[in-house]
Structures are given as C-alpha cells and as structure tokens.
Structure 1
Amino acid sequence: MAEIPSFVTDADSGDSSDAFAVGAYRSGVAARLAGLSVETLRVWERRYSVSAPQRSAHGQRLYSGEQVRRLGLIKRLVDQGHPIGALAALSFAQLAQLELPHAVEVSAPAYPMRVALVGTALVRRMATGGRGNLAFDVLRTCDNLDGAAQALNGVQVDVLLIELSELAESALLQIGEARQAVGAAAVVVLYRFCASVTIRQLRSQGYLVARVPPDLEEIVLLCETALAAHPSAVVVARGAGAVPGPRRLDEQALTELMAAGNKVECECPRHLSEILLMLGSFERYSAQCGASNPYDALLHQDMLLAAGQAREILEFAMERLARAEGLPLPVMRPPGIA
C-alpha cells in the first residue's frame, strides 16, 4: 500500500508553517479521524499516556498517520468493552490482534479503493485531481442523496462516500438505501452541520461520520479507517476472488463455543456457530461435487470459493463476538497434530 502523506489539516489552528515540516495532524483533526472528542483524547493522554505526539515550534501536538490509526483502533476496542488502561501501552500489532485476527494485514486496504460518491461539492473536489486521488477508483457519482440508490444501483464498491452540507435525520433512510444499492463494505458520511442525535444514529449503524475535512488526504484516511472497522473488508483488501485461508474454527471448536454460549443471554454465539457448521459442510460438499462431476467442475469451484470466503468472514466475526461475550476461544491444533 502506498503511504499516505500526513499533512497538518486543522484550518482553525492558526499558522501552520512550522508544522508542515513535521508532517503530522494536529490534535483536533487526529481526534476527529479516530472518532474521539478532543477532550477524551487529552484525558487518555494525561491519565494513561496513550500516545506520544510530537510538538511543533509553537507547542502544538502533532500526530502521524500511524498514530491516528492506532488511536482509532483503541477507540473501537474501548467501544467493544476493553478497558482503556489495559490498551494504552500496547503496540498497533498487539491491539489489532485483540480486535481482529490478522488485522495488521487488513487495516490498510489495497489501493485504489473503489468508491461511489454522493454530493456535488465532493464530486467537484475529486475532479480537481491531486495526490489523494491516487487512493480512489471512482466508479460512479451522484450529485444528490435524493435518488442516489437508483443512480448507484448495480455498482459494487468498497466505500460509499457521502458529503452533505446540512445532514438531517430524514437522510438516514436514504443513506441506508444507497449503501444497500452499492453493497459497500463501509460508509463515510461527511457533514458541516448536523444534530448530535443524528450523528449517534448514523454511528450506531456502523457508519463513520465526520465534519467535512479541508484536505483530500484526510478523506483518504477516513475511508481507510472505515474499511478497517468492517470484517467484510478482509475480502476487499485481499482482492476479488482471493482464495480463503484454512479453517480457524473446526467442528469441535464450534461445538465448544455453542456450549459456552448457552451460559449467556445473547444467543448469537450459538446461531453463528450453527451457520459456520453449515458453511463448513457446504464447503466440503462443493469440493466433493467438483471432483466427482467434471462437467460442473467450474461451477462447484465457484461455490467452493464463495463458501470459503463467507466462512472466513464469519469466523473473524465469531472470534470478535466470543471476546465481547467473554467466551473462551478454543485453541486450534495445526493439521496433522493429535
């Protein structure tokens, strides 16, 4: 993945000539990209030494792109129930292992990211070009949210990127319809004015919501962060048609998780275990059919690939669910070891 240049992008913080030499984001931008309030970031730094930002000649705190990604990862883990005190000293790799196995590999999606754009100002900004555009493959655009679902229908993208100057609660349904139309792994919604209750509603649906940033490079980082937060981004990052890896949870492991899941009120561990058992069975069945029926071999290879990719995504989801519910994750033995 090409490295994203990190620029000082907080237009409200005064003279930035000295900060550009450092090449970093100021605290307001860093907090926004990570999904935090500036106040929360300062508390975390004061109490837990969660990060060590550089200082400009004027004493302003400056964060690199990697530090911003780490803060965003910590924010997601705290939202999942991990105590901030236990996370603050961990490296990015250690944090990624808590959130999603192999998250270090998928946290930065491969360029270019396939995007669909909604919003006249956003479409115009993308048309001006620049280094940030190298990160995007714009497949389709739409000037307005009204009718966006119809205008974007049929295109498959990684990120649905929406910019609305005034974001009203009435837009929630249209945003959901647009996301469904494009099958986006992630949705980034940019606004200038919006009620806090609407922002909370959007974030509860898994959308990344932020004020319209001044620089395109910041939009790139927002899209990266949004993709990294979604398990379905695993397949996107690996590339279309990627061969799924070996099973992470065999039948014995899933059976143990089902039994442990009966002790909690949430029935999702049991339901997800059942789905994974069925997928594993169908994966084996497809392999057998492809071997025994040469006329339909290609068709069954496609079925085998689809089942394996679905199984891999849901295995990652199961591991995250098990951690969230406090369920013990069985240790898988390497093949051939009794």
Structure 2
Amino acid sequence: MNDRMDQERGESREVTYRSGVAARLAGLPVETLRVWERRYALSETQRSAHGQRLYTAEQVRRLGLLKQLVDLGHPIGVLTGLPVERLEEMIAPNAARAADVSGPMRVLVVGDSLVRRIAASGRDGRALQVQRHCARLDQVASLADGTALDVLLIEASELDEAAVAQVVAARDMTRPATTVVLYRFCGSATIRALRAQGCLVARVPAEIGELVLLCRSALAGQGLPAPEPAAEPVAPRRFDEQALAAITAAGNRLSCECPRHLSDILMMVGSFERYSAQCASRNQEDARLHRELELASGRARMVLEAAMERLALAEGLPLPGKPA
C-alpha cells in the first residue's frame, strides 16, 4: 500500500529546472532570462524552498520558442503574451522553408572565434562549408576572388552604426546569396539599418545547429521582419522648468491647486522622458524598450502640455512666449 502511494506521488511530481539549467536548455544566456522575467513576467514558475524559480519542461520549451523568434527579429515584448501554439505557428513556416534549402552551404566567415566553433562542431557544422575566413570586416577585400558563396557570415561582439557601411561593402565585394550578421551587443538603430539592407541579423546562437538553421532561413528568404511603422513624432517641450515654476507661483493665488499639481506631473514626465533617452542599453531588447518608454513619455507630455495650456488660458496664468 505504502509502495503504491509512493509511486503515485512520484508519478505526480513534475520534473523542474532551476533558472540556469532552464536557460541553458533553451539556448539563452541566464542574464537574458532574468531580464525577460523581470520585465515581462514570462512564466508563472514555481519556487523552491529557497525562493529560486523552477521551470517545468513545457515552460523550458516555450523559452526555446521565444529565443528562436527573437533571433529571427521578432520583439520579445510582443511575443510574451502569445500562447505556445501561436509561437509554434510563427516558427513553422521558417523551419519548413529552411528545410527546403538542403545540402551544404558555401560560406565566407568573418570572425576567428566563429571559424573555430564551426571547425570544432563536428557533424553539426558539416552543412557550413567554410570557403574563406578572416578576422575583421576590413580584411574581406583580400578574400574577394569571385568564388561563388551562399552565405556571408559575420560575427561581431559589438556592432555600431559604422559597421553598416562595412557590412554592405563586404557583401558587395563577395556577392553572396545572403548575408547573416551575428552580434552580442548592438543598438536597435544599427539592427534596423542592417535589416533594411536585407541582412538577417541575430544574436550569436548558443549552438552551431541553430546557426545552420539561421543560414538556411536566410537563404529561404525568411527571418527578415517587416519594417517597423514610423513612430508618431514627438514635439519638443513647450514648458521648461522655469515656465512651470512661473505657472506654479502665479497659481498660488488661486484656490484651485491644479496648476501646481499639473506642473509637478509635467516635470516628472519630462524628466523620465530625458532619462529614458539616455539610459544605457545592454542588448537589443533593452534598446527597444527604452525607445518605447521615451516615445510613450513624450506623447504623455504632449497631452499634459495641451491640458496645461488650456488651464493657463482659463485661469489667466503666464504662458511661455506670450505676454502675461
């Protein structure tokens, strides 16, 4: 009887993984997983007796799907609210079309560490036939000998805006069928510029098998996200701190305290808008989030400034650029 109860308890006990193991299984840096959890509350995880997150196998599978889609250019902030079934649907066309591009791929590799990883990967890396390789983008010209290439594969730890012209020049010299750019840290503006040039841009994958899939996806014409819609322009500030202080002082004669409170809110929103624009970004998701915060606070400021103008006109308070 006791043995049966123990067996039933064992069968009902689900296998769980701590954050580090879950991240490794999903192909994510554990720091990225922690950022995602903190900002987007990805998973309703259990907690150990010591307060550590515990992930089920299904939750780990979902993390893996999210990682693949982020690598293909989808914003994590949009993906987090989608069910697993929808994530699978989004990946399926990429995987199916990538599978159609079968056979070995002739690649020119920029990045010594990537060449070594491919060489040491054994069977996983056989699909990537390295024709030429160099350490830096400025060395590609010496390798451009007219050899037919399927993929120009570029790895760089950090990418800035200056790299866009170098990548385009390297592509024009080597004329591959497609170009894949891998990074560890990169600003969102640089990523958008590279994608606008037709490059598949993704974070450096943890496994060579993932790299092979990325290259096949690029050859199949997948993984290039639609251009982001143009953001609504945000007008410059209409009320600086001096103007808001003048409104607050003039409003002290009123029984209504709305001018003072609205001035305080405008100061806080304006300050946060400037802070978001200057806040350091550790990766692509960080940069995109800070840009969204800057735009959101800027739009909120515009609405509040319009309200302040109406209030000032109604109460006879001083407005910047207008006689009191």
* TM-score of the superposed pair, with normalisation by structure 2: 0.48
Higher-Rg member (1/2): 2
